[in-house]
């Protein structure tokens, strides 16, 4: 353009100054959000007053007066709402934790199976992934729950696939060893072995750095973890009594019962999420170049070491971020428990909302609890991710 | 290939066939099922497992089954009672839509599915397609709601079954997309207030389950409105789904924006384009193209997630099926009903995900 400097205005008008324009824009946005917020707040206040709904968290100390089917900590209907909600939160943690562990195991197995050289294994794994990913998890939950409730017989005709294990419409009931001090001794021995094993591993690595000699710390730890608790069991008198469930009246007594609600929820969540985890694991393993494996073999590493020292560390770097998303998905999907009647946090909070009418507090608590859980999970996974990340020069 | 070798064969010479272990079925089995001892073991175990489970299932599903009978007839058989579907087909698919008006939701669904199939080809992605979609949405809304051209009004509380599922997902996706793009732009903005608001919104929504938003829409939202104003339940759930999906789309779009090289922004600046022009003409067309495959993934998830409206008692196709199952006549055939629904969802989702894979392949050839 033929404009010269002299023709330009000395001062830029404020609507052309990017900095000032940004300020105005932000102020407008802020005022808008604040106005909408205030409008909703005022409406809510008026509505609450008109419908004479109490506000605040005072209801937490009131008596809950509803039963919860399964609890981690002791709970009765005469306890307060806060305790009921705590029970719900613990149930959410329980299902999510067990679910995540099982999902990781199953997902890894299916992901590896998908890459198997065995045609049948690879095809079945692929079919599994395709089918599970494309059916809503809620439908799967309903399906498993219906299987438990309708296809399994009543307790009297319970199926016994293995002696001591019963499958009926009251859930999965199985025998456990009867209480005996030997069991806790064995547990403590196992923990002690793990601690010793950790130190052994450290010492072994240090020695390898100094002398170049390898020390099979892992194998020794595994051997100790198997043998020592067994020895303790023998020394403590080798208890073999089992707490076998028996029919009494209309239901079983003794043993451990896993409710149909818990089983259906766990089964649905694990089978659904494992399909996604399998795809992530497959992509992670495929991301490690063939050259890496060939190079590792060329410097004389054994197959197990190739996997542990070369393939896994690189694959995990690709796997961990999407895996975190899937774990969070499982955690969030555990809230579907409400649809089949497992008393997780959302379900308890919903009952609380229905009884007290304090919807705002209830929904706010649900959101807060899940935000906290999500945040904690992603903090942990970010820490792990940082630990595994490539150390660049 | 074989003809070539045949031509090269000279008469008067003896030719041996390749050993049976190197070609044909035996070789294939060897290479793919029995190449190592543990693969052989796995194959044998799997074949045994399939032999034990598949024939009984086949017998249950196809041989001993009834396909269109009364509930009473089903009680006498061991197989599947698929009759639950044809006997209740109207309620499962259309729910409470008034009798005599069924053609309206069916036509609306046909328009929707037809348009989706029409939009599959990329060479049809032009401005005119956008207009077609807008017109189609209006037509579908009119068909469902009625009130003009002599069609009686059907309240949204009567909208149920498959039309509700499809409507919640498609309207949700269509409304969430622009909102998600705006949120992604906001998150990348250099203005701290805008950026903070977008980050807080996106992270908060992504941190909570969809159920909590649906609860918010069903129990909390009525409190937000001034006295006397009510918004119907379907619309509230729709808003919750839009809010939820938008946050996920925003994150996907942000990925696309981050993948844009700086040079693109600088080139746009040096052409004298302002922010709006830069985004509309240079950045977004490229960024959105990169993220088409993950976006389809989000859409797929949104489609599956609409089934959650069951929990706030909206009558989508899952809920109408459950209502059918609560009829004492049919209550024992939930396995059949759920398998049918699973198949239905699978067909929709599989079509979407294989389309996404096709797009990924097509778009892979350079930007």
How many other C-beta atoms are found inside a 10 Å radius of the C-beta of residue A373? 21
Residue B330 tokens read as 């049919």
In this complex, which of B211, B220, B338 lies closest to A143 when CB atoms are compared? B338
Residues within 8 A of B (CB atoms), A 145-184 only: 146-147, 150-151
If we measure between CA atoms, which residue out of A275, A278, A262 comes closest to residue A334? A262
- Spell out which residues of chain B touch residue A29, defining contact as CB-CB under 8 Å: 193-194, 197
In this complex, which of B46, B210, B219 lies closest to A120 when CB atoms are compared? B46
Residues A277, B266: Cα–Cα separation, whole Å: 40
- Cα Rg of chain A (Å, integer): 29
Residue A334 tokens read as 């555990």
- Reported as type and span, the H/E element at residue B102 is none
Instruction: Look at residue B241 and tell me if it is in a domain.
Output: yes
How big is the A-B interface in CB pairs under 8 Å?
Answer: 156
- Which distant-in-sequence residues (6+ apart) come within 8 Å of B246 by Cβ? B176, B177, B179, B180, B183, B205
Whether residues B39 and B88 share a domain: the answer is no
If we measure between CA atoms, which residue out of B147, B158, B138 comes closest to residue B98? B158
**Is A121 in CB contact (< 8 Å) with chain B?**
yes
Q: What pLDDT is attached to residue A9? A: 57
Whether residues B26 and B92 share a domain: the answer is no
Domain that includes residue B57, residue range: 16-61
Crossing angle for the helix pair A260-287 and A81-114, to the nearest 10 degrees: 40
pLDDT, one tens digit per residue, over B119-134 is: 877 777 777 888 888 8
Instruction: Look at residue A277 and tell me if it is in a domain.
Output: yes
Q: What pLDDT is attached to residue A269? A: 94
Instruction: Look at residue B197 and tell me if it is in a domain.
Output: yes
Instruction: Look at residue B103 and tell me if it is in a domain.
Output: no
CATH number, domain at A344?
Answer: 1.10.3720.10
Walk along chain A (393 residues) and give the pLDDT tens digit of each residue. Answer: 444 555 555 677 777 777 788 888 888 888 998 998 888 888 888 887 877 777 777 777 777 777 787 877 888 877 888 888 898 999 999 999 999 999 999 999 999 888 888 888 899 999 999 999 999 999 999 999 988 877 777 777 777 777 777 888 777 887 777 777 778 888 888 899 999 999 998 998 888 888 888 788 888 888 888 888 888 888 877 777 777 777 776 677 777 778 888 989 999 999 999 999 999 999 888 888 889 889 998 998 887 788 888 888 888 888 888 888 898 899 999 999 888 888 889 989 988 888 887 888 888 889 999 999 888 887 887 788 777 766 654
Whether residues B54 and B172 share a domain: the answer is no
- Place B1 in a pLDDT band, splitting at 50, 70 and 90: very low
- Classified as helix, coil or strand, B150 is coil
Whether residues B343 and B231 share a domain: the answer is yes
Residues B173, B133: Cα–Cα separation, whole Å: 13
Instruction: Look at residue A202 and tell me if it is in a domain.
Output: no
Residue A105 tokens read as 């195991």
Q: Where are the alpha helices (DSSP H) in chain B?
A: 2-8, 24-32, 37-58, 71-74, 84-87, 89-94, 103-118, 127-145, 162-187, 192-207, 210-215, 221-224, 233-258, 262-270, 275-277, 284-290, 292-305, 317-325, 334-363
If we measure between CA atoms, which residue out of A313, A324, A306, A289 comes closest to residue A389? A313
**Is A309 in CB contact (< 8 Å) with chain B?**
no
Domain that includes residue A263, residue range: 81-151+259-388
Instruction: Look at residue B28 and tell me if it is in a domain.
Output: yes
The nearest CA of chain A is from the CA of B58 a distance in Å of 17
| Chain B nearest-CA residue for A136 | B304
- Spell out which residues of chain B touch residue A146, defining contact as CB-CB under 8 Å: 334-335, 338
Instruction: Look at residue B244 and tell me if it is in a domain.
Output: yes
Whether residues B197 and B163 share a domain: the answer is yes
Under an 8 A CB cutoff, do B204 and A371 touch? yes
> Is pLDDT at B365 greater than 70 in this prediction?
no
Residues B40, A121: Cα–Cα separation, whole Å: 11
Q: What pLDDT is attached to residue A276? A: 93
Instruction: Look at residue B163 and tell me if it is in a domain.
Output: yes
Whether residues B179 and B236 share a domain: the answer is yes
Instruction: Look at residue A333 and tell me if it is in a domain.
Output: yes
Q: How many domains, in total, are found in chain B?
A: 2
Q: State the average pLDDT over residues B258-277.
A: 88
Q: What pLDDT is attached to residue B366? A: 47
The nearest CA of chain A is from the CA of B68 a distance in Å of 22
pLDDT, one tens digit per residue, over B248-261 is: 999 889 888 888 88
**Is residue A300 left, alpha or beta, with left meaning phi > 0 and alpha meaning psi from -120 to 50?**
left
Q: What is the 3-state secondary structure (H, E, C) of B160-213?
A: CEHHHHHHHHHHHHHHHHHHHHHHHHHHCCCCHHHHHHHHHHHHHHHHCCHHHH
Residue A30 tokens read as 């802020």
Instruction: Look at residue A145 and tell me if it is in a domain.
Output: yes
Q: How many domains, in total, are found in chain A?
A: 1
Instruction: Look at residue A143 and tell me if it is in a domain.
Output: yes
CATH number, domain at B199?
Answer: 1.10.3720.10
Whether residues B92 and B38 share a domain: the answer is no
Whether residues B247 and B355 share a domain: the answer is yes
């Amino acid at each position: 353009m033929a404009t010269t400097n002299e023709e330009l205005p000395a001062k830029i008008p404020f609507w052309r100054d990017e900095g000032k324009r940004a300020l105005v824009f932000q102020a407008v946005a802020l005022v808008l959000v604040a106005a909408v917020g205030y409008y909703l707040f005022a409406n809510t206040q008026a509505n609450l007053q008109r419908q004479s709904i109490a506000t605040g968290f005072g209801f937490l100390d009131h008596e809950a007066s509803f039963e919860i089917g399964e609890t981690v900590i002791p709970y009765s209907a005469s306890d307060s709402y806060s305790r009921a909600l705590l029970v719900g939160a613990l149930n959410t943690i329980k299902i999510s934790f067990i679910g995540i562990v099982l999902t990781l195991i199953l997902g890894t197995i299916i992901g590896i199976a998908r890459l198997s050289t065995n045609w049948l294994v690879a095809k079945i794994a692929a079919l599994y992934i395709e089918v599970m990913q494309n059916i809503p998890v809620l439908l799967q939950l309903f399906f498993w729950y219906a299987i438990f409730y309708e296809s399994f017989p009543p307790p009297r005709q319970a199926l016994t696939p293995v002696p001591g294990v019963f499958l009926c419409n009251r859930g999965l009931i199985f025998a456990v060893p009867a209480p005996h001090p030997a069991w806790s001794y064995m547990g403590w021995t196992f923990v002690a072995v793990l601690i010793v094993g950790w130190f052994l591993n450290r010492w072994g690595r240090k020695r390898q750095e100094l002398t170049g000699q390898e020390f099979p710390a892992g194998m020794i730890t595994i051997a100790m973890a198997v043998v020592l608790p067994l020895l303790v069991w023998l020394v403590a008198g080798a208890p073999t009594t089992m707490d076998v469930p028996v029919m009494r009246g209309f239901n079983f007594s003794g043993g451990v019962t896993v409710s149909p609600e818990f089983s259906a929820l766990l089964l649905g969540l694990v089978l659904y999420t494992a399909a996604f985890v399998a795809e992530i694991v497959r992509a992670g393993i495929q991301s490690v170049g063939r050259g890496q494996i060939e190079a590792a073999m060329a410097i004389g590493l054994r197959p197990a070491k190739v996997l542990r020292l070369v393939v896994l560390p690189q694959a995990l770097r690709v796997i961990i971020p999407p895996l975190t998303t899937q774990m969070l998905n499982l955690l969030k999907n555990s809230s579907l428990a409400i649809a089949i009647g497992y008393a997780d946090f959302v379900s308890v909070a919903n009952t609380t909302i229905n009884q007290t009418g304090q919807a705002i507090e209830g929904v706010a608590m649900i959101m807060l609890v899940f935000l906290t859980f999500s945040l904690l999970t992603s903090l942990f996974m970010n820490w792990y991710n940082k630990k595994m990340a490539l150390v660049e020069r | 290939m074989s003809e070539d070798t045949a031509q090269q064969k000279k008469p008067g010479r003896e030719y041996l066939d390749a050993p049976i272990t190197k070609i044909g079925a035996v070789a294939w089995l060897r290479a793919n099922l029995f190449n190592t001892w543990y693969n052989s073991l796995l194959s044998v175990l799997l074949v045994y497992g399939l032999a034990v489970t598949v024939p009984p299932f086949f017998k249950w599903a196809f041989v001993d089954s009834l396909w269109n009978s009364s509930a009473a007839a089903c009680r006498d058989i061991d197989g599947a009672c698929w009759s639950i579907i044809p006997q209740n087909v109207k309620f499962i698919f259309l729910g409470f839509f008034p009798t005599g008006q069924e053609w309206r939701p069916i036509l609306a669904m046909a328009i929707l599915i037809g348009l989706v199939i029409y939009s599959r080809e990329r060479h049809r992605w032009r401005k005119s397609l956008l207009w077609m979609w807008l017109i189609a949405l209006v037509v579908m809304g009119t068909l469902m709601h009625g009130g003009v051209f002599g069609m009686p009004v059907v309240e949204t509380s009567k909208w149920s079954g498959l039309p509700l599922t499809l409507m919640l997902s498609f309207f949700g996706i269509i409304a969430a997309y622009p909102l998600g793009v705006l949120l992604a732009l906001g998150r990348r903005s250099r203005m701290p207030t805008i950026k903070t608001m977008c980050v807080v919104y996106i992270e908060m929504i992504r941190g909570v389950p969809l159920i909590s938003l649906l609860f918010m829409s069903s129990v909390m939202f009525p409190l937000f409105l001034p006295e006397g104003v009510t918004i119907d339940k379907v619309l509230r759930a729709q808003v919750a789904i839009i809010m939820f999906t938008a946050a996920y789309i925003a994150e996907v779009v942000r990925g696309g924006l981050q993948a844009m090289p700086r040079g693109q922004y600088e080139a746009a600046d040096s052409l004298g384009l302002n922010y709006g022009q830069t985004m509309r003409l240079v950045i977004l067309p490229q960024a959105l193209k990169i993220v088409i495959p993950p976006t389809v993934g989000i859409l797929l998830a949104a489609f599956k997630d609409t089934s959650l409206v069951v929990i706030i008692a909206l009558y989508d196709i899952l809920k109408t099926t459950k209502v059918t199952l609560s009829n004492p006549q049919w209550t024992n055939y939930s396995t059949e009903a759920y398998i049918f629904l699973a198949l239905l969802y699978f067909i929709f989702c599989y079509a979407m995900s294989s389309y996404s894979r096709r797009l990924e392949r097509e778009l892979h050839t350079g930007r």
